Amino acid sequence: MAGPNMEVFRFGFYLFFPIFAMYKFGDPVWFETYVQPYKDYLLPSYEDSLKPPKTAAGLHEELARLKAARKAKYTSTSADASDLSVSASSQPPAPSRTLEALATDQAMKRDQGVSGDLGSGPGAVGEQQQPSQGRRWGWGSGGGSSSERLV
């Protein structure tokens, strides 16, 4: 321990630091000098800012404008894609499954002890397979009760 002098210093620091911060940064002159110029620089003016519609008719007009903009963007994107299209024979076949589905299948095989890669994992040649490896976490197959589950 540092002793009573250190404790008195810490108490004084903890007490007077917030008071000093409020005195220094709460001064209106300091605020006008250092904060107001950056407010105009960082934030858009009120006239240029986005104002939500206040009536039902204004809301319908805004929704119609947004839908038209989205439709124009979609048509321009699809037109660009049709200009860049290549014949179907030169394109590689589209993957039939997503990466998430493949990762899920690999995880299921790993948990069941089926090796899908080059001889590594619990189902590889020469290794003993542990029965129901997932049971220790409570999600594997087995006769465990629901009270054993962690989720």
Q: What residue ranges do the domains of the chain occupy?
A: 4-42
Per-residue pLDDT at 107 = 75
Q: How many CB atoms lie within 10 A of CB 111?
A: 15
Per-residue pLDDT at 53 = 87
Q: How far apart are CA 150 and CA 55, in angstroms?
A: 51
Q: What is the pTM of this model?
A: 0.28
Estimate the share of the chain in helix, then strand, then coil, as percent rounded to the nearest 5. 55, 0, 45
Q: How far apart are CA 106 and CA 41, in angstroms?
A: 53
Per-residue pLDDT at 136 = 56
Per-residue pLDDT at 128 = 53
Percent of the chain with pLDDT over 70: 60
CA 30, distance to chain mean position in Å, is 38
Q: How far apart are CA 26 and CA 24, in angstroms?
A: 6
pLDDT in tens, 85-114: 555 455 555 555 666 777 777 777 777 765
Structure tokens at 111: 């948990």
Is residue 119 within 8 Å of residue 125, measured between CB atoms?
yes
Structure tokens at 137: 């976490």
Pairwise pLDDT comparison (25 vs 46), residue with the higher score: 25
